[in-house]
Structure 1
Amino acid sequence: MSLRRNRPFAFFWVAQLLSNAGTQVSELAVPLIAVLTLSAGPASMGVLTALEALPSLVLALFLGVFVDRLRRGRLLFWCNIGQGVLIGTVPLAAAFDVLTMAQLYVVTFAVGGLALAYSLAHTAYIPVLVPDRRQLTAANSSIALTDSVTAVAGPGLGGLLVQLLTAPVAIAVDSASFLVAAVLQASGRGPDPSPIAEKTRFLPSVRAGFAAFRGQPGIVAITAGKGSFDFFQWAVIALYILYAVRELHLSPAAIGAIAVLGSLGPLLAGVITTPVSRRFGTTWTSVVAAILLGGNLLTPLAAGPDLLVIATIGLGQFLLGLGVVFLIIVRSTMLQRSIEPGLLGRAGSVIRLVEWGAGPLGGLFGGLLGATLGLRPGLVLLGIGTLSAVPWIATAAARGHLSMPDERG
């Protein structure tokens, strides 16, 4: 069956499109409401950024076991519902003028936990919807393309909504998108098999996930490289909105325009990963993708008229997004082809722990660095740090660990 005729996958795809569009709006609107409405400084923004990633550090391994023991389709449905309800409390509190940074902290952490469970179940659920393994690269590329399309429209829409209707309204859009996505996913009626009954205790189950992860050196290399990159990337995120608003004096609409330009990179990755992988293989193309992660360096170097600043930062984010999504698609396909379905949730939780587990420290480090050195010098150092993924991935490429099974002679 072609992907276009696969009804459950099609509904899943549309639901992903809708919820991600709303998420892109909130990813811009939440830090903007913290800076513009609640007057958050570098330290507060560092804490907010850290709390978004903290669930990956404290919950990833537990949720990996949890995902492998539940019906994944049902779990995805309730994760969407939970995120919609939690995010909806932010515009409600703002309407009654009782919104505080403490509430943003709590909501950010709780939504991050549900998003983590969704992400782990989502990766493990795709092989259920697409049983033909030859279609997995195309399916993962389709999902990445969907994410990228929403990344193009979402930030621009978010910046416009914040500019015209305030940040709480923009966040309310995200809340509604999660609820509608849950209904759409349920309407697709995709297969949702019961997991194989497992009586293994928690720690042995976790060890099985670690063993499956360690047994794939290509997956380990991409994860280690992306984990080192993510530490610095979370630090950049902690400072970026502050830098754009207070030093570059950009409006919410201009920040949204930068995000739109940057999100064209993931969009292109979703389109080209399958043909590029088939034509050139995944080995050295992954090294090129890792080099593109240094696009963050263009942010503190941007200067001149607003249009030039927007174009410069947008180009950096374009290159960064292209590299990140290419690596994610390659790694997801390697994961789904090489690890048995019953271990995908746990292996995915190890990956999430390595990558996003660095996020809380990265966010706090970024806030501290910005408060100590200033926003621009801090962003220069952090931009250099995002290139730390290159040695990991280049070494794996030289050892032949990044090729797909059908590329090996």
Structure 2
Amino acid sequence: MRPLVSRVPILLRERAFRRYWTAQSVSLIGDQISLIAIPLVAVLALGAGAAEMGLLKTAELLPALLLSLPAGAWIDRRARRRRIMIAADLLRALLIVSLPLAYAVDALTLAQLYAVAFMVGGCAVLFEICNATLFVSLVPKIRFVAGNSLLNGSRAMAFVSGPGAGGLLVQLLAAPVALLADALTFLYSAALLARIAPTEPPPAPSAKGYVTEGLRWALRHPTMRAMFAASGTVQFFNLMFHTLFVLYATTELGMSAGMLGTVLGSGAIGGLIGAAVAGRVVHRIGIGPTILLGYAAFTVPLLLVPLAAGATPLVIALLFLAEFLSSVGVMLVDISSGSLLAALIPDALRSRVAGASRTLNYGFRPLGAMAGGALGTALGLRPTLWIATAGAALCLLWLLPSSVPRIRTLPETTTSHEPAPGPDPAPGPDPAPSAHLPERTGEAT
């Protein structure tokens, strides 16, 4: 029994982190079900085209652009961020349930779908900004990579099981009814978060320029600035891609909901592999080079998607390979960059910088979704996907001339509000225990 226990990651032996990790894991599976079910509701139940799909994705992501900065400032003045996360989970469950209820009485409309997508997106902003503080309240710095690897391992598992489950539920039931599974995951997440009580950082005092302080700090920090620029580039072009992908796969490639879910789920096994090796890659080449490698692996393979044509087995093989390699890359990016950002940001600014991050990076998502819908209508689906996949790879041009490729270890957290000139690009592997070293693991960006 003792050898078996010793193989369990140290963080999972701690009850509070275990409940937090389980809550995240269950919710992530539900999110993946919604990721395929909501677009299929629009396409199959309401007959949405490229323009409507662009509006739907925009409604879902617009809160990140409009609300992240003020939400970060508001949350930094709150003492109990965990309670905000619980309230956000409960509200999301109610909003999601409203869709199958409206469908049951033949009252579901695109307007309701847009409204629910916008409000769920607003709840996600509150949840994720609070989550940045809750993570560092539960995980010591020496285990940031291990904690991020565990969370992203769950995310990878959700990528594997969620689309397949979502596609199967949509095929067996109606697409709106499949959303009930997502609502249940939010309720379970809220119940688990209610059973932990971490010591959270004290609220920050308000002062002149309080709302924009996190944004100004991030833009003055050279490493943060380069990482935000790279992430923003990926967010914009990747949302062009995802806005049209379901429509492209079902109409031009002729894939059924079940087949699409299976391909995506199978390809996402790469995410499990990425989460499993991320710690070792960080240990071997350093945190910065891992970020660079991850962005390359994340973006370049997606070029295979607009390339897909011909016989069905060939199309399935190309989509699987694109999803597999990209999933490996996104895990490397999320685990390494998430750990680096957690180490760089001071506690007093954590929620405001998280809000600024969502404004700068996630704010590009609705713009990408609108561009995808407009270009998809004007140029066609396949040409727009070529633009989206090629454009995403341009993110590497922000990182290569920056200090990121030279960073080997996690820097000391900045204690003042003044940005450090950048992390010390000291050579050698990170001495902190990693999730995947012998001692023992999160969108898609």
TM-score for the superposition, normalised by structure 2 = 0.87
Query: For 1:278-333, what per-residue CA distance to the aligned partner results, in whole angstroms no more than 9, with x for missing partners?
Result: 11112333222222212221111112332331221122122223223322222221
Cα distance change on mapping 1:216 and 1:389 into 2, 3 Å: same
2:115 counterpart (106, 122, 131): 106
Matched, 1:153 2:165: no
1:25 counterpart (18, 30, 33): 33
- Equivalent residues in 2 for 1:313-332, closer than 5 Å: 313-332=319-338
Cα distance change on mapping 1:6 and 1:407 into 2, 3 Å: farther
1:261 counterpart (258, 266, 273): 266
Per the alignment, residue 249 of structure 1 pairs with: 254
Letter of the 1:193 partner, please give it: E
Per the alignment, residue 376 of structure 2 pairs with: 370
Per the alignment, residue 172 of structure 1 pairs with: 180
Cα distance change on mapping 1:20 and 1:391 into 2, 3 Å: same
CA deviation after TM superposition for structure 1 residue 218, in Å: 2.4
The answer (yes or no) to whether the contact 2:290–2:336 under 8 Å persists in 1 is no
RMSD: 1.9
2:358 counterpart (352, 358, 377): 352
SS of structure 2 residue aligned to 1:395: coil
The answer (yes or no) to whether the contact 2:407–2:426 under 8 Å persists in 1 is no
Per the alignment, residue 305 of structure 1 pairs with: 311
Matched, 1:141 2:149: yes
CA deviation after TM superposition for structure 1 residue 197, in Å: 5.0
CA deviation after TM superposition for structure 1 residue 194, in Å: 6.5
SS of structure 1 residue aligned to 2:406: coil
Letter of the 2:119 partner, please give it: A
Matched, 1:290 2:295: yes
Query: For 1:67-109, what per-residue CA distance to the aligned partner results, in whole angstroms no more than 9, with x for missing partners?
Result: 2122121111111111111111011111111000000100001
- Equivalent residues in 2 for 1:96-245, closer than 5 Å: 96-130=105-139, 132-187=140-195, 189-193=196-200, 195-196=202-203, 198-200=205-207, 204-245=209-250
Letter of the 2:256 partner, please give it: S
The answer (yes or no) to whether the contact 1:287–1:397 under 8 Å persists in 2 is no
Cα distance change on mapping 1:129 and 1:94 into 2, 3 Å: same
Percent of pairs identical after alignment? 37
Matched, 1:343 2:353: no
Matched, 1:36 2:44: yes
Matched, 1:82 2:91: yes
Per the alignment, residue 415 of structure 2 pairs with: none
Per the alignment, residue 418 of structure 2 pairs with: none
Letter of the 1:223 partner, please give it: F
CA distance in 1, matches of 2:404, 2:75: 35
Matched, 1:50 2:68: no
Matched, 1:91 2:100: yes
Letter of the 2:124 partner, please give it: A
CA deviation after TM superposition for structure 1 residue 241, in Å: 1.0
CA deviation after TM superposition for structure 1 residue 196, in Å: 2.7
The answer (yes or no) to whether the contact 1:282–1:402 under 8 Å persists in 2 is yes
- Relative to structure 2, which stretch is displaced further, 249-258 or 330-339? 330-339
Letter of the 2:87 partner, please give it: W
SS of structure 2 residue aligned to 1:94: helix
- Relative to structure 2, which stretch is displaced further, 306-315 or 103-112? 306-315
Cα distance change on mapping 1:94 and 1:127 into 2, 3 Å: same
CA distance in 2, matches of 1:395, 1:114: 36
SS of structure 2 residue aligned to 1:59: helix
- Relative to structure 2, which stretch is displaced further, 371-380 or 328-337? 328-337
The answer (yes or no) to whether the contact 2:240–2:373 under 8 Å persists in 1 is yes
- Relative to structure 2, which stretch is displaced further, 322-331 or 363-372? 322-331
Letter of the 1:92 partner, please give it: L
Comparing both structures, which one devotes a greater share of its residues to helix? 1
CA deviation after TM superposition for structure 1 residue 401, in Å: 5.2
Query: For 1:234-288, what per-residue CA distance to the aligned partner results, in whole angstroms no more than 9, with x for missing partners?
Result: 1111111111111111000111012213322332222221111011112333222
The answer (yes or no) to whether the contact 1:152–1:259 under 8 Å persists in 2 is yes
CA distance in 1, matches of 2:65, 2:37: 25
Cα distance change on mapping 1:310 and 1:397 into 2, 3 Å: farther
Query: For 1:186-242, what per-residue CA distance to the aligned partner results, in whole angstroms no more than 9, with x for missing partners?
Result: 12x2314363352325xx123321243235422321221111111111111111111
CA deviation after TM superposition for structure 1 residue 398, in Å: 7.2
SS of structure 2 residue aligned to 1:396: coil
* Residue correspondences, number: 405
SS of structure 2 residue aligned to 1:162: helix
Per the alignment, residue 426 of structure 2 pairs with: 408
The answer (yes or no) to whether the contact 1:129–1:190 under 8 Å persists in 2 is no
CA deviation after TM superposition for structure 1 residue 369, in Å: 0.9
Unpaired segments of 5 or more residues in structure 2?
A: 1-8, 412-423, 428-445
